[in-house]
Amino acid sequence: MRNSDNPRISSLGYALLSLLARRNRSGYEMSHSTSPPLDSLLWSAGHSQIYPELAKLADAGYVNFAAVAQARRPDKKVYRLSEAGSLALKSWVRQPPKPAPDRRELTVKAHAAWLIDPAEAAKVFRDQAERTRAEILEIGAYHDRLQTQSEETFPPRADEPMFGTYANAIYALDSRRQLVEWCLWVAEQFDTAIEVGRKSA
């Protein structure tokens, strides 16, 4: 612990502490838990954000690390949650989350879609439905692997470490299924507008 005047921990910082609360990991491994297709189960971030964030957490004493040499692989730094990190994380979890700002390009496109040809607009939303279906398959595949590989009960009980990942997978799947339905409904509305336009022409 170099700098002990507890600097503020970012949301990403807490996400990393939460990963380390389950088991020790390298930055490389953590960056995979925050990148597609698994980012929806925790927090989205690229490796270029992870490495500096881990350095900050280590400097503040919330995590420690040890360099581990590997045969025919580059060395890695394996991080471990400190007592201070564990306390900070548990205290943060009890606080109400700050509201997630709504910032989806699809919403803006829906707002402006009346400006373009209805057939093209319908395509935008049907294509989105397709991409979202692909995401559902990827998250579903991860969920199935969870189930197969789990040594504990499945689904995990709420006091077991994997419960959060399970619950977040349920949420990610449900919200994407809902998005697919909505996209197809929007596309249908544009189809109807095409028909109406044809009649009045």
Partner DNA sequence: TAAGTCATGTAAAAAGTTACATGATTCT
Partner DNA sequence: AGAATCATGTAACTTTTTACATGACTTA
Q: Which residues bind DNA (CB under 7 A)?
A: 8, 10-12, 26-29, 31, 44-49, 51-52, 54-55, 70, 72-77, 98, 101, 103
Minimum distance of a copy of itself from residue 130's CB (angstroms): 10
Distance CA 27, CA 36 (A): 16
Minimum distance of a copy of itself from residue 198's CB (angstroms): 12
Nearer Cβ to a copy of itself (54/121): 121
Nearer Cβ to a copy of itself (68/108): 108
Q: Among DNA, a copy of itself, none, what does residue 24 contact (CB within 5–8 Å per kind)?
A: none
Nearer Cβ to DNA (2/199): 2
Q: Among DNA, a copy of itself, none, what does residue 73 contact (CB within 5–8 Å per kind)?
A: DNA
Concatenated DSSP letters of the chain: ----S-PPPPHHHHHHHHHHHHS-EEHHHHHHHTSTTSGGGS----HHHHHHHHHHHHHTTSEEEEEEEETTEEEEEEEEE-HHHHHHHHHHHHSPPPPPP---HHHHHHHHGGGS-HHHHHHHHHHHHHHHHHHHHHHHHHHHHHHHH-SS-SSPPTTSTTHHHHHHHHHHHHHHHHHHHHHHHHHHHHHHHHHHHHHT-
Distance CA 108, CA 126 (A): 16
Torsion of CA 33, 135, 187, 123, to 10 degrees: 100
Minimum distance of DNA from residue 187's CB (angstroms): 26
Nearer Cβ to a copy of itself (78/106): 106
Nearer Cβ to DNA (14/166): 14
Q: Among DNA, a copy of itself, none, what does residue 199 contact (CB within 5–8 Å per kind)?
A: none
CB atoms within 10 A of CB 168: 15
Q: Among DNA, a copy of itself, none, what does residue 85 contact (CB within 5–8 Å per kind)?
A: none
Nearer Cβ to DNA (46/197): 46
Minimum distance of DNA from residue 139's CB (angstroms): 18
Minimum distance of a copy of itself from residue 26's CB (angstroms): 18
Minimum distance of a copy of itself from residue 96's CB (angstroms): 6
